[in-house]
Amino acid sequence: MIRHALAHMLSCKDVSRLLSRQQEQPLSAFTRWRLKLHLAACDGCAGFSRQMDFLREAMRRYRS
C-alpha cells in the first residue's frame, strides 16, 4: 500500500500548478487524492495552499 501511494506522490512544483489550476477547472478525484496526500506530508505546500485560500478570499471580499 505504501509503495503504491509513493508511486503517485506529486512534486512540490506539480502541487503549486494544481492548486492554481483547480481554481479554473475541476480536478479528477484521483488528482485531488494525490494533492491531499502531498499536502498532508509537506508543510511548505500546505502553507502555500493556505496562503492561496487567504488571497482568494481577500479578492472575493474586495470585489463585493
Whole-angstrom distance between the N-terminal and C-terminal Cα of the chain? 46
Residue (of 64, 24, 18, 60) closest to 37 by Cα position: 18
Residue (of 22, 52, 58) closest to 10 by Cα position: 22
- When computed from its CA atoms, the radius of gyration of the chain, rounded to whole angstroms, is 13
Q: What is the pLDDT of residue 21?
A: 95
Q: What is the pLDDT of residue 29?
A: 96
Q: What is the pLDDT of residue 3?
A: 58
Query: From the centroid of its chain, how far is CA 6?
Result: 17
Q: What is the pLDDT of residue 23?
A: 87
- Beta carbons of 62 and 29 less than 8 angstroms apart: no
Return averaged pLDDT per consecutive 10 residues of the chain, 64 residues in all: 64 96 94 94 96 93 84
Q: What is the pLDDT of residue 36?
A: 95
> What is the reported pTM?
0.79
Q: What is the pLDDT of residue 63?
A: 85
